Structure 1
Amino acid sequence: MHHLNMADSVFHVAAEWDAEAGVWTSSSNIPGLVVEASTLPEFVDLVSTLAPELLSENLGIKGRVPLEIRAHGTIELAVA
């Protein structure tokens, strides 16, 4: 059983906007986490569903784990 030491492990996921594909894609230090979504709320929902399963299965982590989410991208706005 792995016990999370906060000094060692802060988990994070970054959402990067892929304008050509029209999706947010993930990069993360959670093993196995790969997410693509067309909106940020959908991205966060997917991460919230998948990350706990992966942390439990791959790293044996249980309990409450903070996850830092960052989003970076440029979107075009239609300004009248």
Structure 2
Amino acid sequence: MFADRFSALFVLAFILRRFWTRIRLLMSLALKGVKYREVPAGKLLSRNLLIYGLGGLAAPFIFVKLIDMLLVLFGLA
């Protein structure tokens, strides 16, 4: 029973440490800022749809397939 609690606490500490590391990195990036470029609205919309729209549609299918292939490779599926 103690070992279960200890392992759960260990996993929780590991997740929180990774979370705070990412937050610190993102905060430093946010404070640095992003260089501003003046771009026409149509060009900006096209670029954002290409990157976020198509990426948002394709990425889940690609990663699900990769996870499936890894599970089959390791004999877990």
* TM > 0.5 fold call: no
Instruction: Give the structure with the larger helix fraction.
Output: 2
TM-score band, normalised by shorter chain: under 0.3
Query: What TM-score do you get using the length of structure 2 for normalisation?
Result: 0.26
- Which is greater in Rg? 2
